[in-house]
Structure 1
């Protein structure tokens, strides 16, 4: 009995995940027309329509969603196992993809990876900067980085950074026009620089705690951004108050370009953790990365 060729199913999975024949073709290294013919042949073989095509997008039908949900993870598992076999060499080797927020990528991942990669030329690391609550399994990432309390219970999590605090800051020019807030509630009368969260498009709520009292304040202001650098520059430009990771503003506090307020209302948070699926069997390359990132205290 002739064995079934699964290349057409792999082609469908690539298109469904990318939502585009063009991007999927680029990823697979084939022409768009050849990829389209392969998927149409699969639909003809199954006698099912798997994709809805429009001039602007491609999305799975109900049957396509079922095929993607049930079959794609099995190919991912096979790919992972093959990668493990190929990594069983004298030197750790392979590709590692990590999802992380901007702050953790800059302050924790980058310094560790800069020390690691020169020692292991056969390891390749991709950092996907994403401030949303990314599903690393769906995004086909090997691991992710989040604050400790945000890691799902079914994941293995490892501390990779110390506890840290947020800081509420503004420029001296801003405070020359507005009185400094004394309590978190005072922020409602201030121009605050908001952070847009990718997940659901909501605005980041500023969190405070003091003497057992916890508060979340939905601040308002003229400026909304979605990254760390713009928040910092907006505060330096006197556009309002910003809620920033403490380490990101320490130099500006030291030289007087920013002023800190509500310090006693800003608690320490559990530091960043690297997390990955519990069913994952760490490859030699991933094990090396874990050792390089493991936080051992000061």
Structure 2
């Protein structure tokens, strides 16, 4: 049987993306052409690899076996091709990182933009979201998470110091309601909630009580799934907000927000860049690591 490796690459991409539309966009081809390539592969192999419905795509047993057999090998080839940029005058290639929008704005971009000016052949692609992506299955070079949430089989590089949470509200809010003296009193306040993308539940506010955890489930009329509107709502006097202190820092310094319960907010491990331990860093990725490494 004649081998067409482009069709195999098309199959791996569709299987990983779970969508012909997303796979076609990633490969830079039309959706009909991609569908034809997969159908041609199935006809030559005389076995169905994908189960298609109007709304979803899933792997058959044969498709799952083929993906497990060849997916990592194509990744190895791609990595080796990236490594060949060592033979060029300057490193090149794309580095894909998944991270939260807050750490992207505050940490990653300030440190990595100078790298792009020095190495014009490097491209950085960021997937900014609050969910936990599988960086191996989704083919990211690295991810950024808080240190205590990273799997043990990953290499983790600290890119920032310890963090602290902060509970804040506007001066206007505290003219209408007394400031809480303990976390338990938050249940008597309007609190600005945040829904966690990973679990779908509301974020439980976590405080420190004599070295132990104190969890408080707060209530309020506002719920967001990202931090930026939480800050805006707190500035507007809508209630008490709870985020890493760096989110509120300029507003606290200039008096637009008042911090409460500071003694109950202990430091915790900050952000780490992590990547698979078996992955051989490409020259471009090695430069990213060096730019993010704490000096």
Give the TM-score normalised by the residue count of structure 1: 0.93
2:148 maps to which residue? 149
Structure 2 portions without partners, runs of 5+: none
Specify whether residues 102 and 31 from structure 1 end up closer, same or farther in structure 2 by C-alpha distance, changes over 3 A only: closer
TM-superposed deviation, 1:165: 1.0
Could you say which residue in structure 1 is the equivalent of 2:243? 244
For the pair 1:9 / 2:8, whether they are aligned, the reply is: yes
Residue by residue over 1:6-42, the C-alpha shift from the partner in whole angstroms, topping out at 9 and shown as x without a partner, is 2222112222222222332232222222221221122
Identify the range of structure 1 (143-152 vs 261-270) with the bigger mean alpha-carbon deviation: 143-152
**2-side partners of 1:201 and 1:69: how far apart?**
30
| Superposition deviation, residue 154 in structure 1 | 0.7
* CA RMSD in angstroms, aligned pairs only: 1.7
8 Å contact from structure 1 (residues 210, 264) kept in 2: no
> Cα distance 1:29–1:102, how it changes in 2: closer, same or farther (>3 A)?
closer
* Partner residue, 1:181: 180
Q: Distance in 1 between matches of 2:218 and 2:85?
A: 51
- Alignment correspondent of 1:232: 231
Which residue of structure 1 aligns with residue 214 of structure 2?
Answer: 215
The equivalences for 1:1-298 within 5 A come to: 4-296=3-295
Is the CA contact 2:82–2:92 (under 8 Å) kept in the aligned structure 1? Answer: no
Note the C-alpha offset of 1:3. Answer: 6.0
1:62-91 deviation per Cα after TM superposition (whole angstroms, max 9, x unaligned)? 332333233222211221122212343231
C-alpha displacement of 1:98? 0.8
1:86-125 per-position Cα deviation (integer Å, ceiling 9, x unaligned): 3432312211011111221111101101222111111111
SS at match of 1:75: helix
Which consecutive residues of structure 1, in runs of 5 or more, have no partner in the other structure?
none
State how far apart, in whole Å, the 2-side matches of 1:97 and 1:216 are. 35
Q: Cα deviations across residues 196-250 of structure 1 (Å, max 9, x unaligned)?
A: 1111312222111132221122222211111121110011111111112212212
**Helix, strand or coil at the partner of 1:200:** coil
SS of equivalent residue, structure 1 residue 153: coil
**Counterpart contact for 1:88–1:284, Cα < 8 Å:** no
Q: Is the 8 A contact 1:25 1:32 kept in 2?
A: yes
For residues 285 and 33 of structure 2, what CA distance do their matches in structure 1 show?
A: 35
Question: 3-state DSSP class of the match of 2:94?
Answer: strand
- Which digits, 9 at most, give the CA deviation of each residue in 1:233-290, with x for residues without a partner? 0111111111122122122112221111110000112221111111111122111111
Q: For residues 224 and 87 of structure 2, what CA distance do their matches in structure 1 show?
A: 45
